[in-house]
């Protein structure tokens, strides 16, 4: 239960910090943090939580990461379901807190997006379903390669959170214009349930693509990261 609790609060922090920066601070008049700030916010949530709870639960914070680690032989299948449940619940709880805060501003309109992920007319840059699907697969694939490599016992010890946090920052710098960047089904679900409508209708892509990408990345690392006999 300690591990599941850690995943709940870790994912809560990721969604509150990352999506909160997008909803509350990205375009704040004159001193908005912009896309660079939002990208850094997502990376910092993972970096800080990796140091805080990595020794408790492994700090997955992401169903695609948990499934990818299982595919990579680093995580038992018996714990997949409770990890994913804890992550999704943490994401939704953070979405609720963010909604409570954001709705206190005059003129707040949750249908405007609320940091939800989307494609087509709901992509920030108007990118197609194919573009969104490709971006989410490839970026999650690279995230898993970095995670597995940085946490390999042969890698320098103690630096994995920095590498993983910076990787997530880079992923956001690349793909916020395409999908608002998911690479994490729990992050997508946490805000989509409050938007409803199109955000829930398009949510399938932000579950399927990251999971496919995570498994591909894990399988790639099993090949390139295998120790020589």
Greater pLDDT, 100 or 228: 100
Cα–Cα distance between 93 and 15 in angstroms, integer? Answer: 9
pLDDT of residue 160 exceeding 70, the answer is yes
- pLDDT for the residue numbered 140: 98
Q: Look at residues 20, 32, 167 and name the one whose alpha carbon lies nearest to residue 101.
A: 20
- pLDDT for the residue numbered 186: 97
* Confidence label for 55 from pLDDT (cuts 50, 70 and 90): very high
- pLDDT for the residue numbered 26: 81
pTM over 0.75: yes
- Residue 59 CB neighbour total at 10 angstroms: 27
CA atoms lying within 13 Å on the CB side of residue 25: 15
Q: Is the dihedral of CA 167, 170, 175, 181 positive or negative?
A: positive
DSSP letters of the chain?
-HHHHHHHHHHHHHHHHHHHIIIIITT-TTT--HHHHHHHHHHHHHHHHHHHHHHHH----SHHHHHHHHHTTSS-GGGHHHHHHHHHHHHHHHHHHHHHHHTTSTT--GGG-TT----GGGSTT---HHHHHHHHHHHHHHHHHHHHHHTSTTSPTT-HHHHHHHHHHHHHHHHHHHHS--S-HHHHHHHHHHH-HHHHHTTTHHHHHHHHHHHHHHHHHHHHTPPP-
Q: Look at residues 218, 97, 83 and name the one whose alpha carbon lies nearest to residue 147.
A: 218
Q: Which domains does the chain have, with CATH numbers?
A: 2-224 (1.20.1080.10)
- pLDDT for the residue numbered 30: 67
Cα–Cα distance between 168 and 229 in angstroms, integer? Answer: 33
- The stretch 41-67 carries a mean pLDDT of 95
pLDDT of residue 69 exceeding 80, the answer is yes
**Please, are residues 36 and 208 in contact by the beta-carbon 8 Å criterion?**
no
Over the stretch 112-127, which tens digit does the pLDDT of each residue have?
889 999 999 999 999 9
- The stretch 176-189 carries a mean pLDDT of 96
- pLDDT for the residue numbered 210: 97
* Confidence label for 31 from pLDDT (cuts 50, 70 and 90): low
- pLDDT for the residue numbered 109: 86
Over the stretch 204-215, which tens digit does the pLDDT of each residue have?
999 999 999 999
* Confidence label for 228 from pLDDT (cuts 50, 70 and 90): low
- Residue 126 CB neighbour total at 10 angstroms: 12
- pLDDT for the residue numbered 106: 84
The SS3 call for residue 109 is: coil
* Confidence label for 179 from pLDDT (cuts 50, 70 and 90): very high
Over the stretch 71-82, which tens digit does the pLDDT of each residue have?
999 999 999 999
- pLDDT for the residue numbered 229: 58
């Amino acid at each position: 239960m300690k591990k599941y609790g850690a995943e709940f609060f870790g994912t809560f922090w990721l969604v509150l910090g990352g999506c909160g920066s997008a909803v509350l601070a990205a375009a704040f008049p004159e001193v908005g943090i912009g896309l660079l700030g939002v990208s850094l916010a997502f990376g910092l949530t993972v970096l800080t939580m990796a140091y805080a709870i990595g020794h408790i639960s492994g700090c997955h914070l992401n169903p695609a990461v948990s499934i990818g680690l299982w595919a990579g032989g680093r995580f038992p299948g018996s714990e997949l379901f409770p990890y994913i449940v804890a992550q999704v619940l943490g994401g939704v709880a953070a979405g609720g807190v963010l909604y409570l805060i954001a709705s206190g501003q005059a003129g707040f309109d949750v249908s405007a997006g609320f940091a939800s992920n989307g494609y087509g007319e709901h992509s920030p840059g108007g990118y197609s379903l194919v573009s969104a699907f490709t971006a989410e697969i490839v970026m999650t694939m690279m995230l898993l390669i970095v995670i597995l490599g940085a946490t390999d016992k042969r890698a320098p010890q103690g630096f994995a959170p920095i590498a993983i946090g910076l990787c997530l920052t880079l992923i956001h710098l690349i793909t916020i214009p395409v999908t608002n960047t998911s690479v994490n089904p729990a992050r997508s679900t946490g805000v989509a349930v409050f938007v409803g409508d199109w955000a829930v209708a398009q949510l399938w892509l932000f579950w399927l693509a990251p999971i496919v990408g995570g498994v591909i990345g894990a399988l790639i690392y099993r090949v390139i990261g295998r120790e020589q006999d």
